[in-house]
Amino acid sequence: PQPIRLADYRPPAFLVDEVNLTFDLQPNATRVKARMQVRRNGDHAEALRFNGERLKPISVAIDGRTLGEAERTIDGEFLVIPDAPDAFVLETEVEIDPENNKALDGLYMSGGRFCTQCEAEGFRKITFWPDRPDVLSRFTVRIEADKAFRHLLSNGNLVQSGDLPGGRRFAVWNDPFPKPCYLFALVGGELDVLEDKLVTMTGRTVDLRIYVDPGMAPRAAYAMDALKRSMTWDEEAFGREYDLDLFMIVAVRDFNFGAMENKGLNIFNSSLLLADPATATDMDFERIESVVAHEYFHNWTGDRITCRDWFQLCLKEGLTVFRDQSFSADMRGHAVQRIKDVKALRARQFAEDQGPLAHPVRPSSYLKIDNFYTATIYEKGAEVIRMLKTLIGPDAFRAGMDLYFERWDGHATTVEEFIRCFAEASGRDLTDFFAWYEQAGTPKVTLASRYDEAARALHLELTQATPPTPGQPTKRPLPIPVTVGLLDQDGRTQAFERDGKAIDETVIVLDGASAKITLTGVDRPPVVSALRGFSAPVRLESDAEPKDRYVLLAGDPDLFNRWEAGQELARALILARAEGRPDEVGEERYAEAVGRALSDQAAEPAFKALLLALPSEPDLALAMRPADPGAIHEAREALRERLAVHLQHELRRLHTGLQDLGEFSPDAAGAGRRALRNAALELLAANPRSEIAEVAAGHYAAAANMTDAMGGLNALMLIGGEPFEQGLTDFYERWKSEPLVIDKWFAVQARDPSETALGRVIGLTAHPAFDAKNPNRLRALVSTFANFNPARFHDPSGAGYRFLADQILAVDRYNPMIAARLIDALGGWRRYTPELGALMKAELQRIVSTEGLSKNVFELASRALA
Ligand code: HT7
Ligand code: ZN
């Protein structure tokens, strides 16, 4: 297959200004008629080539005249009309089979309902169309279906609806805003609806509707609340008002991704929409809040202003993640949110950057764009915007955003044009900054410091280097904002001077390979707190000693760095043990420091819960060369046991004292208390004393909400044996009719690090409740096992890898997008011990040599081997 390259971009040869679509919905034979106003774009004589995949053509007509076979051809995945006029009406009719569409891309059926997913290239599976984001059209959509499909929905405003003869219904929708076809949506089925209203900043009333499975409307209440808060926040933070009179969200059970921002009709994976305290955990509530916000924010950053081509994906995704992270920080607390965002970035994006699939935030070629919905585009894309704000300041940033909205509203544009708005608004030359979009890899920043007591000066030397990534052997320096503050040896904030001004904190911009900076007025020997708030997506290596990190852990006013100091100490302890090196940090001292942090009355429970969690095994594997997951697991468990024994009284006190007595609230304060209580229990589970099993079983049995039930079941899983088996049986019996809860039941077993877990996971693929065609269920078992159970996935026999490869090959036959997402776990094979790496590589080779492989899986597996 030939790659698509950014350098080959050409404007579309034909545009479609208006389209009338008519859907006659039938599960196995849906008819789609399209009546398009088409015009030639520019002075050229090219043939018209519209995309079309898996379509059964019925007819093609131009200006009312049906074209004969010789006048139009179906060339592979294109409808080709060699002699099209300059402006004309093109009418097509095709037939499609939604019920047998298990790729969940285009028009398909989920739970007996029709629904669509068109990003990135699904619309071509619905009708012939120039399926690219720079063709913007006004859509009018008529839907006809059997009356059993009571709700017939599409984008925009409802123009008309009613009954038809023969027990059928119809609805006509018009969307006044021109949009690319990837934002088209249609839903047809029997649904319940939760309704509300919101008055916007200019006093307009918007109707809000969330459509869900019958009986589930009460579980949409939290999503509705999150939606209203998002709409108001976007007005306050970015001056953006909603533009239609109606905003709809539909929940579906079978969905390849989290959610989709179709104009005025968002479609959500039900796991990211439905929640009540009995069935959803605090983490579910938190994710629902952030995804509802994310999809809503796309209305301006994605829908009103869209991407010129798919290489510009970060233009909408990185920016919208930045916006949803800012929203969540305002809702739930800045420090805790930042720590969670950075944990996710390191777990997913840093790992991507260290492997064969490393790519820039704006890639320059691809085979299947579906493979590029990556952590680099999303999370690193958001980090780049965060740095931009740090570099030019909040006022110039807001002015740049205002300019972007004003200049590009209603258009498809590029990252260059986006950055140009900030250059103009700030008066700064951002040419060098652009390299953040074009260069892959995580820069390593080294910091060396020297204190001159006599001169009261601190000399800092910063250097940067980015390791080579596939296709980019040499790297240039990037502008890296490094936020720095100073403490004294007693942990008190220490003021200093820079350019003659007294300050507590400063941003040093490292924009060459190295830089030397002197901070003056430093009265006492300092402890340097660098990269505060994780001011850039880099790996920082400083010459700080363990004693400095203890000072930071005890009292850095920058809570991100306070947490980071604890993580670095723990990482050093675990890796020293895993690699058989002497411990320079002191397990006892570390345990005491954590104990002191836990009893700090001023710190929030949510923050303490984060402090208590040791770096994850995948995180540790990134820091060990070659990585030995078995040794990491044992070393981490040893430290957990040490902490559990050392802190047992404090942990028991927290576990008892934080019990929820009042009514459940999903807010940050309530969630923080539960997080700390469950983190205490998780650590207690590492204490080998048997009575812990009783505490965990009691916790599970007494749980009044899903967060605590899962906290209890998780602790029982870590303890293992009969109490865990009893918990699993009880949980299944209680929740077997709730698919989203049963996903959790599969996932907790997939995370079990005990030796019998792989056999159990393989056995679960034959469980009557396992359905590999449902992406949520498949992810719960297979993806959780491969990505979150390193000790068992990396079994020295290679059986874990074989299991994953078998699953990938089986799923690829009907859902290539989901199969391709599973490749990641094998992609980092070069980072592991030679024995493990060889076994992983062998499975990748088995995958690429399989006949009939999809482009999606072929692209990722072959790049992983290259
Ligand atoms: N923009 C949406 C991306 C998406 C998607 C991409 C590929 C295949 C299926 C998909 N479903 C949704 C989601 C978002 O980032 O908001
Ligand atoms: Zn998005």
Q: Chain-wide mean pLDDT for the chain?
A: 98
Taking CA atoms only, the protein residue closest to ligand 1 atom 14 is 260
List alpha helices for 487-558, DSSP H. 546-555
What is the spatial distance between Cα 570 and Cα 613, in angstroms, rounded to a whole number?
Answer: 10
Distances from the Cα of 573 to the Cα of 113, 281, 424, 586, angstroms = 53, 32, 48, 7
Residue 718: inside a domain, yes or no?
Answer: yes
CATH code of residue 244: 2.60.40.1730
Residue 586: inside a domain, yes or no?
Answer: no
Which residues are placed with Cβ below 5 angstroms of ligand 2, an ion?
317, 320
192 in Cβ contact with 214 (< 8 Å): yes
Residue 420: inside a domain, yes or no?
Answer: yes
User: DSSP of 638-653, one letter per residue?
Assistant: HHHHHHHHHTHHHHHH
Same domain, 755 and 622: yes
Amino acid code (one letter) for 357: L
What is the spatial distance between Cα 609 and Cα 593, in angstroms, rounded to a whole number?
Answer: 15
What is the spatial distance between Cα 387 and Cα 368, in angstroms, rounded to a whole number?
Answer: 29
Taking CA atoms only, the protein residue closest to ligand 1 atom 6 is 119
Same domain, 427 and 448: no
- What per-residue string of b and e applies to 373-404 under the rule 16 or more CB within 10 Å gives b? bbbbbbbbbbbbbbbbbbbbeeebbebbbebb
What is the spatial distance between Cα 828 and Cα 836, in angstroms, rounded to a whole number?
Answer: 11
Chain centroid, CA 575 distance in Å:
28
Q: How far apart are the CA of 177 and the centre of ligand 1, in A? A: 20
Q: Which atom of ligand 1 is nearest to the CA of 817?
A: 8
The pLDDT of residue 613 is: 97
3-class SS letters over 44-93: CCCCEEEECCCCEEEEEEECCEECCCCCCEEECCEEEECCCCCEEEEEEE
The pLDDT of residue 540 is: 98
Phi/psi-derived region of residue 63, left when phi > 0, alpha when psi is between -120 and 50, beta in every other case:
left
Q: How far apart are the CA of 7 and the centre of ligand 2, in A? A: 25
* Preceding omega of 715 cis (within 30 degrees of 0): no
CATH code of residue 455: 2.60.40.1840
539 in Cβ contact with 443 (< 8 Å): yes
Of all ligands present, the nearest one to the C-alpha of 371 is 1
Ligand 1 probe mutation, 257, 370, 855, most atoms within 8 A of CB? 257
Same domain, 422 and 482: no
Q: How far apart are the CA of 320 and the centre of ligand 2, in A? A: 6
Taking CA atoms only, the protein residue closest to ligand 1 atom 2 is 260
Q: How far apart are the CA of 125 and the centre of ligand 2, in A? A: 22
The angle that helices 668-684 and 706-719 make with each other, rounded to 10 degrees, is 10
What is the spatial distance between Cα 76 and Cα 84, in angstroms, rounded to a whole number?
Answer: 19
Q: Which atom of ligand 1 is nearest to the CA of 256?
A: 9
Same domain, 379 and 458: no
Ligand 1 probe mutation, 316, 373, 377, most atoms within 8 A of CB? 373
CATH code of residue 373: 1.10.390.10
- Write out the catalytic residue numbers: 295
Q: Which long-range contacts (CB under 8 A, 24 or more apart) does 585-592 make?
A: 585/546, 586/546, 587/639, 587/642, 588/642, 588/646, 589/550, 590/643, 591/642, 591/643, 591/646, 591/647, 592/646
Residue 575: inside a domain, yes or no?
Answer: no
237 sits in which H/E element: helix 221-238
Q: How far apart are the CA of 709 and the centre of ligand 2, in A? A: 31
Residue after which a domain boundary falls, among 508, 536, 564 = 536
Q: Which atom of ligand 1 is nearest to the CA of 255?
A: 11
Rg of the Cα trace of the chain?
28
What is the spatial distance between Cα 372 and Cα 370, in angstroms, rounded to a whole number?
Answer: 5
464 in Cβ contact with 436 (< 8 Å): no
Taking CA atoms only, the protein residue closest to ligand 1 atom 1 is 260
Same domain, 201 and 82: yes
Residue 269: inside a domain, yes or no?
Answer: yes
Q: How far apart are the CA of 117 and the centre of ligand 1, in A? A: 8
Q: Which residues line ligand 1 (CB under 6 A)?
A: 117, 119-120, 256-257, 259-261, 294-295, 298, 317, 370, 373, 817
Placement of tokens 């984001």 in the chain: 133
Amino acid code (one letter) for 280: A
Same domain, 612 and 501: no
Q: Which domain holds residue 484?
A: 444-536
Taking CA atoms only, the protein residue closest to ligand 1 atom 11 is 257
Residue after which a domain boundary falls, among 394, 410, 438 = 438
Q: Which atom of ligand 1 is nearest to the CA of 378?
A: 15
Three-state DSSP class for residue 469? strand
Of all ligands present, the nearest one to the C-alpha of 257 is 1
Tell me the average confidence (pLDDT) per consecutive run of 10 residues in the chain, 866 residues long. Answer: 96 98 98 99 98 98 96 95 98 98 98 98 98 98 98 98 98 98 99 98 98 98 98 99 98 98 99 98 98 99 98 99 99 98 98 96 97 98 98 98 99 98 98 98 98 98 98 98 98 96 98 97 98 98 97 98 98 98 93 96 97 97 97 98 96 95 93 98 93 96 98 98 97 98 99 97 98 98 98 98 98 98 97 98 98 98 96
Taking CA atoms only, the protein residue closest to ligand 1 atom 10 is 257
The fraction of the chain above a pLDDT of 90, given in percent, is: 98
Of all ligands present, the nearest one to the C-alpha of 373 is 1
Of all ligands present, the nearest one to the C-alpha of 259 is 1
Same domain, 448 and 367: no
The pLDDT of residue 388 is: 98
What is the spatial distance between Cα 63 and Cα 86, in angstroms, rounded to a whole number?
Answer: 12
Same domain, 846 and 699: yes
Ligand 1 probe mutation, 260, 287, 321, most atoms within 8 A of CB? 260
Domain count of the fold of the chain: 4
Q: How far apart are the CA of 816 and the centre of ligand 2, in A? A: 21
Q: How far apart are the CA of 750 and the centre of ligand 2, in A? A: 28
Same domain, 65 and 192: yes
- Nearest partner of 57 among 37, 72, 35, 39, judged by Cα: 72
443 in Cβ contact with 478 (< 8 Å): yes
Report the number of secondary-structure helices (H) and strands (E) in the chain.
Answer: 31, 33
Q: Which atom of ligand 1 is nearest to the CA of 291?
A: 16
Same domain, 478 and 617: no
The pLDDT of residue 768 is: 98
Distances from the Cα of 464 to the Cα of 442, 444, 496, 512, 708, angstroms = 10, 6, 25, 8, 44
Of all ligands present, the nearest one to the C-alpha of 316 is 2
249 in Cβ contact with 338 (< 8 Å): no
Q: How far apart are the CA of 297 and the centre of ligand 2, in A? A: 9
Q: How far apart are the CA of 474 and the centre of ligand 1, in A? A: 32
Q: Which atom of ligand 1 is nearest to the CA of 298?
A: 16
What is the model's pTM? 0.99
DSSP single-letter state for residue 345: I
793 in Cβ contact with 785 (< 8 Å): yes
Angle at 300 between CA 108 and CA 21, to 5 degrees: 40
Residue 595: inside a domain, yes or no?
Answer: no
Residue 544: inside a domain, yes or no?
Answer: no
Same domain, 317 and 377: yes
Q: Which atom of ligand 1 is nearest to the CA of 257?
A: 11
What is the spatial distance between Cα 637 and Cα 619, in angstroms, rounded to a whole number?
Answer: 15
Q: Which atom of ligand 1 is nearest to the CA of 294?
A: 16
CATH code of residue 648: 1.25.50.10
pLDDT digits (tens, 9 = 90+) for 658-695: 998 889 999 999 999 999 999 999 999 999 887 999 99
Taking CA atoms only, the protein residue closest to ligand 1 atom 3 is 260
Residue after which a domain boundary falls, among 405, 438, 471 = 438
Ligand 1 probe mutation, 110, 115, 119, 301, most atoms within 8 A of CB? 119
Same domain, 156 and 263: yes
Q: How far apart are the CA of 349 and the centre of ligand 1, in A? A: 18
Residue 138: inside a domain, yes or no?
Answer: yes
* Preceding omega of 178 cis (within 30 degrees of 0): no
Of all ligands present, the nearest one to the C-alpha of 267 is 1
What is the spatial distance between Cα 642 and Cα 72, in angstroms, rounded to a whole number?
Answer: 74
